[in-house]
Amino acid sequence: MTRSLTILGATGSIGRSTADVVLAHPDAFRVEAVVGGRDALALAEVARRLGASFAALADERGGEALRQALSGTGIESGAGQAAVLEAAEREADIVLAAISGTAGLAPTHGALKSAKRIALANKESLVCAGDAFMADARRLNVEITPVDSEHNALEHALAAGLNRDVEKAVITASGGPFRTWSREQIAKASAKEASAHPVWSMGSKINIDSATLMNKGLELIEAHHLFGLGAERLDVLVHPEAIVHGLVQWTDGAVTAGLALPDMKVPIANALQGEGRLGMELPRLDLAAIGRLSFERPDEGRFPCLSLAKAALRAGGAMPTVLNAANEIAVEAYMAEAIGFYDISEIVERVCSTFSGRRISTLATVAEALALDQEVRATARRLIPAPVEAAQVR
């Protein structure tokens, strides 16, 4: 059966991999809409390749270029946030949400109105507004399927038992580019060095979050909302080979793990599947050829962002929203060379400390979460030594 699909973040790394999965199964999908950030020509190319009905560019300035690039194709187009929301809210069986950062929250939440399933690759939807977002998904009877390889693996592993029998659910981290570096070396690292991820090809912001291990902290918060597990039952292991993506330790001592080669097309295909799995012509995992899988505890002394994220998860309420907003501003400043590597964690810690005294309760709506996000960003920007132009999310 052919299903309709909308791709939010179609020009990013997840979006490009999604296009490959769709093109491998041309009879399984009809692409309703594609959304991009600033690159009008790249979005037009994706729209043409996939035969989309509608293409929306977040940057209004590229609207005319997009329209011209799609001239004669019959593909409708629009630009600006209203067009992005229009694309997200078009009726679709599946909306793959892969717009990076908090910029992806509003369109992903908007997609709940008309989608049957959200294939979620925008972790900020749950980090920034997890309680409200998941409550709305339940109210509207929308299935939330994780696309991140770690949560996709946990979803598989958790199917082997009951949540009450989970002793510990663990996501893995490659360790990033600085896994073997000393704290002194890391302190001097440039944004270019931090962006050089050893395993995955992702956007610059996500790569830097991986270098600080904040990405793993955000993924713990995401796992809490996806699977209903408390902070005491969630953990992280460093696994440089990136073969085991998630594992579950059960109360009887058994362990169930999700393994795959590090290729995002694997979890994407799983998140998009219908009644059966989507076959993919990808290299197969050969454990004998790999020979050895290694694991180690993360060093939270060298990577304090992970500790800060764990503390925000334990605190609950709005603290994950505060953590995420402060981190986005700090990473933005680091990418602009306004601050150093460890200034990221220092800024996040100072902002979290500022807001923790307010005893902010759980945010009831996504609008409340977005309002707090803007307040936190303003506070964080005051801690940056020099003005930094806000980076636009692709």
pLDDT in tens, 280-323: 999 999 999 999 999 999 999 999 999 999 999 999 999 999 99
pTM: 0.93
- Structural domains in the chain, sorted by start: 3-146 (3.40.50.720), 151-302 (no CATH), 316-394 (1.10.1740.10)
pLDDT in tens, 48-59: 999 999 999 999
> Given pLDDT bands bounded at 50, 70 and 90, which one contains residue 391?
very low
> Given pLDDT bands bounded at 50, 70 and 90, which one contains residue 221?
very high
The DSSP call for residue 390 is: P
pLDDT in tens, 343-379: 999 999 999 999 987 656 678 899 999 999 999 999 9
Q: What stretch of H or E contains 256?
A: strand 255-259
* Distance, CA of 350 to CA of 207 (rounded, Å): 23
| Cβ-contact 119, 147 below 8 angstroms | yes
- Residue environment code for 52-84, b if the CB has 16+ CB neighbours within 10 A, otherwise e: bbbbbbbbeebbebbbebbeeeebbbbbbeebb
Chain-centroid distance, C-alpha 174: 16
- Residue environment code for 307-322, b if the CB has 16+ CB neighbours within 10 A, otherwise e: bbbbbbbebbbbbbbb
Q: What is the pLDDT of residue 359?
A: 56
* Distance, CA of 363 to CA of 11 (rounded, Å): 31
Distances (CA, A) of 247 to 127, 267, 269, 361: 21, 15, 20, 32
